[in-house]
Amino acid sequence: MYLETPRKFRALVSQAHQVAANYLRPLSRTYDRAEHAYPKELDMLAALLDGMNAGAPEAVGAGAAGKRSEGAADGVRNGGNLSACLAVMEMCWGDVGLLLSMPRQGLGNAAIAAVANEEQRQRFASVWAAMAITEPGCGSDSAAIRTTAVRDGDHYVLNGEKIFVTAGARADAVVVWATLDRSLGRAAIKSFVVEKGTPGMTVTRLEKKLGIKASDTASISFQDCRVPAANLLGSPEIDTQKGFAGVMETFDNTRPLVAAMAVGLARAALDRSRTLLEKAGCRFDRQRPLLVLQHAEACWHRYEAEWEAARLLTLKAAWMADNRMPNSKEASIAKAKAGRMVGEVTLGCLALVGAQGYGEDELLEKWARDAKILDIFEGTQQIQQLIIARRLLGKSSAELK
Amino acid sequence: MTTTLQGHALALLNRLARADWPDRFKLRKPLEGLLLRGSRAGFRLAGRRSAHGSTRPLLSGPGELFDLSLSEEQQLLRDMLAPFAVEVMRPAALEADAQGNLPPALRAQAAALGLVHYGVPESMGGLAGGPTALTTALLAETLAQGDLSLAAALLQPLSAAHCLRRWGSTEQQQRWLPALLHEDAPHYALAIEEPQVLADPARPATRARKRGGQYRLDGEKCLVLQGGQADWLIVSAQCSDGPALFRVSADADGLSRQPEPAMGLKACATTRIRLRQVKVERDARLAGRGFDHRVFLDLSALGWCALAVGTCQAALDYVIAYCNDRHAFGEPISHRQGVAFSIADMAIELEGMRLLLWRACARADRGLDFQEQAWRARLFCSEHAPRIGSAAVQLLGGHGFTQEHPVERWYRDLRAVGVLNGAMPL
């Protein structure tokens, strides 16, 4: 049993923290104010990170997650899922919106890593991929997807509307969920890589949002959009036995990543509020019992305990993925805990600092806005609760609705 | 020829084999099966340990990797104790709660399992081969799945052994520890808690003043687990050079004991203890190098967290079965989100409690500083354990409020977490 940051990732973590502190954080307020402006500084950073990753055995970004280790595992593994989570925590200590806008680190990349075959993995290795699941008429209920994909020779023809596509206008490609046959339900839902500029694919609007303004959120329309058949990720067969499991596997890898974002963001709020509270006279002395501490200090300690629980749950889910253990429940537990934690902690830390925390001179108010999305995308709090409860109670989605 | 580790294990096994309680509980077959598997692996581990001439425990994985897996030995202990917790302790818990004491038969059964061996060094006939925090936490977690109060009471000999081993001098250990392994071992209790409101547990109000070759102890200790039955008490007191632990005879002049029932922990027969000018010899003070009262309190807080984790797991398992079985409006109540989400929340927070506990223990076992982690584990468990206990009662509705189900007892017991600090060092 050893629940510390493994030695082999310490350099990576420290590097990611340097990037967050010295590159992302100084841009935070700029791109919070300039919603929809392209953070051009990230291109250079992405190139730098690509260079670093090329030389490192374990990569930094989302694409590293989802690589399930190949061959016979000998002993305990700490691999791409764990390193990605650790790096994402640090980067999001810098800025969540900017991380989500990092070229080639999109959630679509995690999806490709999770379900693509070897040929596809190589072909899309340097592609920045966004993820398009949600539609105007379906959010959490992704089985109700209406976007259709119809086979026509060497192509699939896509028709439908997608909304809430993170980095959808900026990414090189979008991973689109579409159904091959609506009458066959979940089993017929497949994911397709649609490259930017494919005729029939149009970005129709960019959302104005509560937070993560540095990250663009696009609506994309597909009208007779022809996608090469080789861009269907995974198997084209409709396996009603396996059902939805294929595309849902993506979530087992991406949910811990979103949980890691929440952990990093919450840490930023904890660190900043602590600095300000110390200036105001709080001593943060663990030699004294909790009951006699100042209220602000005691609250802060409680937030930090919540934070650590979320952090460990996240690392557990990633560790299980690295060690090829089924982790759907644990991924949902991590996401649920981190999502509720980050809201409570960022709003709470803001309040501990008072009026100063509410003003735009501090980033605390921005972090409290950014936090909310982390309890929503990749499955809301309530969706995670449903998944966890179904697993615990042994219920199907028809029984526990 | 000195007895080897395998020898000690065999002696332990023999004592269990002679006991008649496994027959009464129709547990002999399953226990034998478990022991056979357990001892095989246990002996293999013991052999490996002695082959390497090292007292370090086997680490479960390469030391520098994040690793949640338990060692073979830890997994076996869990597998062996879980049926004891559920099949033997759970059925005895209601009556023990009503009577307000630990049934002597259960105490004997637990003694036969040899729990206290995990607090006594191998060189003195025990099985404590190295760091003990995580292994003890797992023992507590597993037993508390049977019942929190019974587990706390049954673990008192082990808690005492940990105290004497961790903080006694070598000479004191040799004098006191081997007796704990005897069939008629003296009973110990840990008198740490004090009744003052908003007091700092790190600075006991109980005083120990030096008078010639003796100390005189004055003060009051509350809610001492198994305090009435104890032959010996381990008492924390403030000396001129800081807090210290003393081994005090329960019959000493000036020491009085009185039952002090509480909200829960009934089976622990909680006791108020008053010390007026109690004289103890100088060498009754635990004199091992580097006694650190903070570390003592941190390890003990983790012991309470471990009990909380076990009982919250029991509560979760209980409500899952109940809510799947209970029908209302034509379907199991677990088909309702209002019910199901509450159960999901219990599981989410419980897993958080467990990981905070394990991390702090793993750090303690490696000799890393663990004060912060223990602080957070205690804070988190003291908030979420009572909440989980409360949710369990709520999910059973009016039935949960009655003693027909164990959840009302666990509700009472779980509130002790974060309130009591002493008595459970790992």
CATH code of the domain in which B389 resides: 1.20.140.10
Do B110 and B46 reside in the same domain of the chain? Answer: yes
More confident residue, B267 or A48: B267
Q: Is the ipTM of this complex over 0.90?
A: yes
Buried (b) or exposed (e) across B96-116, using 16+ Cβ within 10 A?
A: bbeebbbbeebbebbbbbbbb
**Contact B7/A at CB under 8 A:** no
The pTM is what? 0.91
Domain boundary among B284, B318, B336: B284
Residue B297 domain flag: yes
Residues B402 and B393: their CA atoms lie apart, in Å, by: 9
Domain boundary among B251, B284, B317: B284
Residue B424 domain flag: no
Residues A314 and A333: their CA atoms lie apart, in Å, by: 8
Contact A313 B362 (CB under 8 A): no
Residue B37 pLDDT: 44
Q: Flag whether pLDDT at A127 surpasses 60.
A: yes
Residues of chain A neighbouring B367 (CB-CB closer than 8 A): none
Do B51 and B114 reside in the same domain of the chain? Answer: yes
Residue A48 pLDDT: 78
Please identify among residues 60-79 of chain A the ones whose CB lies closer than 8 Å to any CB of chain B. Answer: 75-78
Task: Give the count of domains, chain B.
Answer: 3
Please identify among residues 177-206 of chain B the ones whose CB lies closer than 8 Å to any CB of chain A. Answer: 198, 200-202
Residues of chain B neighbouring A394 (CB-CB closer than 8 A): 324
Structural domain boundaries enclosing B352: 293-414
A119 an active-site residue?
Answer: no
Residue B421 domain flag: no
Contact A134, A163 (CB under 8 A): yes
Residues of chain A neighbouring B329 (CB-CB closer than 8 A): none
Residue B273 domain flag: yes
Do B47 and B90 reside in the same domain of the chain? Answer: yes
Contact A385 B344 (CB under 8 A): yes
Do B99 and B81 reside in the same domain of the chain? Answer: yes
Residue B426 domain flag: no
Residue B420 domain flag: no
Domains with residue ranges and CATH for chain A: 7-123 (1.10.540.10), 129-233 (2.40.110.10), 245-393 (1.20.140.10)
Give the nearest chain A residue to B60 (CA atoms).
A1
Catalytic residue among A70, A207, A378, A399: A378
The encoded tokens of residue A187 equal: 């089993």
State how far residue B139 is from chain A, nearest Cα, in angstroms.
Answer: 15
**Contact A234/B at CB under 8 A:** no
Contact A308 B356 (CB under 8 A): yes
Do B336 and B209 reside in the same domain of the chain? Answer: no
Residue B355 domain flag: yes
Do B246 and B162 reside in the same domain of the chain? Answer: no
Express each pLDDT in A56-115 by its tens digit: 544 445 555 544 444 445 689 999 899 999 999 999 999 999 999 988 877 788 888 888
Q: How confident is the model at residue A187 (pLDDT cuts 50, 70, 90)?
A: confident
pLDDT tens over chain B, length 426 residues = 455 555 666 666 666 666 666 666 556 655 555 554 444 444 444 444 444 444 344 344 445 899 999 998 899 889 989 999 999 999 999 999 999 999 999 999 888 888 999 999 989 988 887 889 999 999 999 999 999 999 999 999 999 999 999 999 999 999 999 999 998 899 999 999 999 999 888 899 999 999 999 999 999 999 999 999 999 999 999 999 999 999 999 999 999 999 999 999 999 999 999 999 999 999 999 988 778 899 999 999 999 999 999 999 999 999 999 999 999 999 999 999 999 999 999 999 999 999 999 999 999 999 999 999 999 999 999 999 999 999 999 999 999 999 999 999 999 999 999 999 889 999
Rg, C-alpha atoms of chain B: 21
Residue A174 pLDDT: 96
Residue B108 belongs to a domain with what CATH number? 1.10.540.10
Residue B59 pLDDT: 41
Q: State the average pLDDT over residues A358-368.
A: 98
B27 Cβ contact list (under 8 Å, min separation 6) = B21, B83, B84, B87, B88
Contact A305 B356 (CB under 8 A): yes
**Contact A309/B at CB under 8 A:** yes
Q: Flag whether pLDDT at A277 surpasses 60.
A: yes
* Least confident span in A228-242, A300-314, A341-355, B349-363: A228-242
Do B253 and B215 reside in the same domain of the chain? Answer: yes
Do B54 and B131 reside in the same domain of the chain? Answer: yes
Do B149 and B228 reside in the same domain of the chain? Answer: no
Do B24 and B170 reside in the same domain of the chain? Answer: yes
Please identify which residue in the block is written with the tokens 């509480």.
B262
Residue B273 belongs to a domain with what CATH number? 2.40.110.10
Domain boundary among B249, B284, B319: B284
Residue A239 pLDDT: 76
For residue A288, give the nearest of B200, B343, B365 by CB distance.
B200
Do B254 and B375 reside in the same domain of the chain? Answer: no
Residue A50 pLDDT: 72
Do B231 and B334 reside in the same domain of the chain? Answer: no
Angle at the Cα of B79 from the Cα atoms of B74 and B81, rounded to 5 degrees: 95
Residue B181 pLDDT: 93
Residue B38 pLDDT: 46
Residue B55 domain flag: yes
Contact A289 B201 (CB under 8 A): yes
Mutate to test the interface with B, among A3, A340, A341 (most CBs of B within 10 A): A3
Question: Cα separations (Å) of A193 from A158, A243, A386?
Answer: 11, 20, 29
The encoded tokens of residue A141 equal: 């209920």
Please identify among residues 211-230 of chain B the ones whose CB lies closer than 8 Å to any CB of chain A. Answer: none
Please identify among residues 264-303 of chain B the ones whose CB lies closer than 8 Å to any CB of chain A. Answer: 294
Contact A5 B337 (CB under 8 A): no
Residue whose C-alpha is closest to residue A339's, from A10, A96, A56: A96
